[in-house]
Amino acid sequence: MEIFYQITLSVKTLLACSILPFLYFGLHAKYWYSPNRLRNIDIMLVLVASLSAAAIVISMTAPGRSAEGIDAMLLAFAHLCPLALTFLIVAEGRRRPKVTHTHQNPNSTSDETSYIPAPISAIEHLTWDDLIVSHELKRELDTVVRLLHDPQSAAQYGIEAPKGILFQGPPGTGKTTIAKVMANVAGLSFFVLRSDDIVSKWVGESEKNLSKLFHAAQKHAPSIIFIDEIDSIGKTRASDGQRFNDNLLNHLLQLVDGVIKAQGIYIIGATNRADLVDSALKRPGRLNKVIEIPLPDMNARAELFRLYLSKLTLEAEINYFFLAKMTQGCSGATIKEICNQAGLNAFQRESAGSKKDRQYQVTHNDLMTALEQFAPTSLQHGELPSGTYGN
């Protein structure tokens, strides 16, 4: 009490109190993308305003203060005004919806943004057996996985576990699937960052969504953040100044740097065009380890056919190498589609007849039709020769 009695109010203390509302707006303008930090700022401002108000009120009850007259009372009242204003704006700011989407789902009852990042759980069954990659690539990826799984042993060897990797390769070569397998095998939570999910027309909203995802990944650490088509966010900064994208990229760089310093979060970026990715993202210490994911070669294509056709019942044995030869330049995704389409063709053919006659088998023709659909150029030489079947 005694200490509060000694407070003498003056123009200086009035100015100090008046700064609080300005501080609120200044800090909110600076950290609008970080809801957690804003909450802490609000708590801090309310605490400071409450303590100041309590100190001023107590100081007015000091013995002999009443003799100072009406001017002293007015000065104290003037002090309380900005403090009360601070309470009001913090309360109003927290009451108002943080984000309003005009394109928000009208059925949604929430007035918050609909973007709620969560780890992907559908990766639990994925293992290396689901992937056809060359031995060298598998060994390289496996080393990374072991380092991610056990960063302590990396430290014992005096090496740093990679914090950021960039997968480069044509579409459908399995980049996303590889990242999922790595997360599952290393036992990490898996978050996917797609620009479509986070980019919003509202100023600052995209950055806020980006922060949300990184915070969620931190909460579920150890985790992998997989940035699909990273070139769409991390595109080389255009000289004509695409400010919107620049802001997002700068924010991503800040978050990536934060992650690199933190423990237990790893970033994997994927792109078809590594040359389009801003060099700041590929700088040493960020996503500097570039791993090439090429189109499958002859052997890999044969293995892919073996993998995906094993899920179907075939009428006769198949020469996988012949199929591989017919699908030169096709990605793993296309081969998967061909096999699936062959099954669909069988289903369509058999569903035209009666149920009891169904064989549930994929025939030579089903496969041919599928190949024609997805790899027409490889069939320019006509019918699949009879050598396709048998070994």
Ligand X SMILES: Nc1ncnc2c1ncn2[C@@H]1O[C@H](COP(=O)(O)OP(=O)(O)O)[C@@H](O)[C@H]1O
The residues that touch Mg ion, with contacts defined as CB under 5 A, are 176
In three-state form (DSSP H/G/I as H, E/B as E, the rest C), the secondary structure along 95-150 is HCCCCCCCCCCCCCCCCCCCCCCCCCCCCCCCCHHHCCCCHHHHHHHHHHHHHHHC
Residues 25-64, mask of contacts with ligand X (x by CB under 6 A)? ----------------------------------------
Nearest residue (CB) to ligand X, 171 versus 285? 171
**Tokens 């620009």 correspond to what residue?**
195
Q: How far is the CB of 331 from ligand X (least distance, A)?
A: 6
Q: Which residues inside 123-162 make contact with ligand X, applying CB under 6 A?
A: 131-133
CB contact set of 204 (below 8 Å; sequence gap of 6+): 32, 33
Q: How many CA atoms lie within 13 A of 315 on its CB side?
A: 14
Q: How far is the CB of 183 from Mg ion (least distance, A)?
A: 14
Q: Which residues inside 173-192 make contact with ligand X, applying CB under 6 A?
A: 173-177
Q: How far is the CB of 182 from ligand X (least distance, A)?
A: 12
216, 276, 280, 333: which one binds ligand X (CB under 6 A): 333
φ, ψ for residue 223, nearest 5 deg? -150, 165
For 229, the token pair is: 């088509």
Are 295 and 173 a contacting pair, CB within 8 Å? Answer: yes
Q: How far is the CB of 149 from ligand X (least distance, A)?
A: 21
205 vs 217: CA distance, rounded Å: 18
The Cα-based distances of 35 to 29, 31, 140 in angstroms read: 12, 8, 39
Q: How far is the CB of 370 from ligand X (least distance, A)?
A: 15
315: helix, strand or coil:
coil
Nearest residue (CB) to ligand X, 83 versus 324? 324
For 149, the token pair is: 């799984």
**Tokens 């899920």 correspond to what residue?**
311
Q: How far is the CB of 228 from ligand X (least distance, A)?
A: 7
322, 332, 346, 375: which one binds ligand X (CB under 6 A): 332
Q: How far is the CB of 337 from ligand X (least distance, A)?
A: 8
Is residue 336 at the binding interface for ligand X, with CB under 6 A as the rule? yes
Is residue 171 at the binding interface for ligand X, with CB under 6 A as the rule? yes
Q: Which does 131 bind (CB under 5 to 8 A by kind): ligand X, Mg ion, none?
A: ligand X
Q: How far is the CB of 294 from ligand X (least distance, A)?
A: 10
Query: Which window, 74-82, 169-177, 194-202, 374-382, contacts ligand X (CB under 6 A)?
Result: 169-177
The Cα-based distances of 321 to 303, 310, 342, 343 in angstroms read: 9, 15, 17, 20
Residue number, nearest CB to ligand X:
332
The Cα-based distances of 338 to 277, 329, 348, 379, 380 in angstroms read: 32, 14, 15, 13, 17
70: helix, strand or coil:
helix
For 89, the token pair is: 């704006």
Q: How far is the CB of 174 from ligand X (least distance, A)?
A: 3
Query: Which window, 50-58, 117-125, 212-220, 330-338, contacts ligand X (CB under 6 A)?
Result: 330-338
Q: Select from 51, 49, 45 the least CA-distant residue to 3.
A: 51
Q: Which does 330 bind (CB under 5 to 8 A by kind): Mg ion, ligand X, none?
A: none
Are 202 and 99 a contacting pair, CB within 8 Å? Answer: yes
Nearest residue (CB) to ligand X, 82 versus 172? 172
Q: Which does 332 bind (CB under 5 to 8 A by kind): ligand X, Mg ion, none?
A: ligand X
Q: Which does 133 bind (CB under 5 to 8 A by kind): ligand X, Mg ion, none?
A: ligand X
Q: Which residues inside 285-304 make contact with ligand X, applying CB under 6 A?
A: 296, 304
Contacting residues toward ligand X, per CB under 6 A:
131-133, 171-177, 270, 296, 304, 332-333, 336
